[in-house]
Amino acid sequence: MERAYHEALTRDARSRGAFEGLARLYYERGMAGSRGYLDLAERVIAQGERALAEVGERSAELAHVQGLVWLARERPDFAGESLRRALAIDPAHARAALNLARLEILWRDPAAALRHLAIAGRDPALELEVRLSEGVAHLIAGEAKSAIAALERAQALAPDDPRPPYNLGVVMIALVTLSEDVESMREHNRLARAHLERFERLARLHPELADELLQAQDHIVELDEIMQGECKSHITPDIRERARALEEIQREQEAEQRARLLELERLAAEAEEAAER
């Protein structure tokens, strides 16, 4: 694949597709462990943007990959600038919109995040990730019902994915703490436990979720402690604290999902190179 991109650039020094593909390839290799490839990705981005500028063109994808590189370097401020630039070039760039929305969740701006998630949601391939992020954004905004609806949609899309039931369990715990009467507490407690137990069953097939599995078990113990009191005087009703916890979990889940996808892409690239040889 890398050779094909280089050959395309020898034929056309301003091949936008070749610059974009090469930048993405180097970024993925950098994320797979060879961090020096992140530097190569940035060089390709700079070269591509200069070459395209000579003919009055711009690339939203190059700006998007630059945003991803900044995220890998733990500079969300610069990443946000690059992702906004990508959307200025192409307002319909779904992946740039999704990644910017995730940053806006981090910055606790759920309204902006939901606007960008609406753009990302136009790409059917991103619907699961969009619904998961919508659940967090709605919870931060204090909109528990909307959070539940988004996460239930995510669960319907991917019944075997451990993330939706975990996040639903966290939302339900928040509702336990906000319940106005014992019956509501019991019902939300039952639902929270059911979601967390579902997560436990699914997470056992994912060794990378060992920490989240322990957290789920802690949450179940917490539910037991809450219901032993069955009294609001024993509860701290702060849905935003739950939102912050869920936000952190989502970041961990996204990193794990990215790592799995990059490993699959690495194996596919190795197979392709072996076939070429």
* Nearest-angstrom CA–CA distance, 271 and 27: 19
Tokens, residue 239? 């849905």
pLDDT at position 261, please?
56
Amino acid at 101: A
pLDDT at position 237, please?
46
* Nearest-angstrom CA–CA distance, 113 and 134: 8
pTM beyond 0.95: the answer is no
pLDDT at position 66, please?
98
The pLDDT tens digits of the residues spanning 54-100 come to 999 999 999 999 999 999 999 999 999 999 999 999 999 999 999 99
Closest CA to 69 of 82, 55, 60: 82
Whether residue 270 is predicted with pLDDT greater than 70 in this model: the reply is no
pLDDT at position 1, please?
85
Beta-carbon contacts of residue 198 (< 8 Å; ≥ 6 apart)? 165
Could you write out the DSSP letters of every residue in the chain? -HHHHHHHHHH-TT-HHHHHHHHHHHHHHHHTT-THHHHHHHHHHHHHHHHHHTTT---HHHHHHHHHHHHHTT-HHHHHHHHHHHHHH-TT-HHHHHHHHHHHHHTT-HHHHHHHHHHHTTSGGGHHHHHHHHHHHHHHTT-HHHHHHHHHHHHHH-TT-SHHHHHHHHHHHHHHHH-SSHHHHHHHHHHHHHHHHHHHHHHTT-GGGHHHHHHHHHHHHHHHHHHHH-SGGG----HHHHHHHHHHHHHHHHHHHHHHHHHHHHHHHHHHHHHH-
pLDDT at position 224, please?
84
pLDDT band at 235 (very low <50, low <70, confident <90, very high): very low
SS (H, E, C) 214-228: HHHHHHHHHHHHHHH
Residue with tokens 């009703």: 237
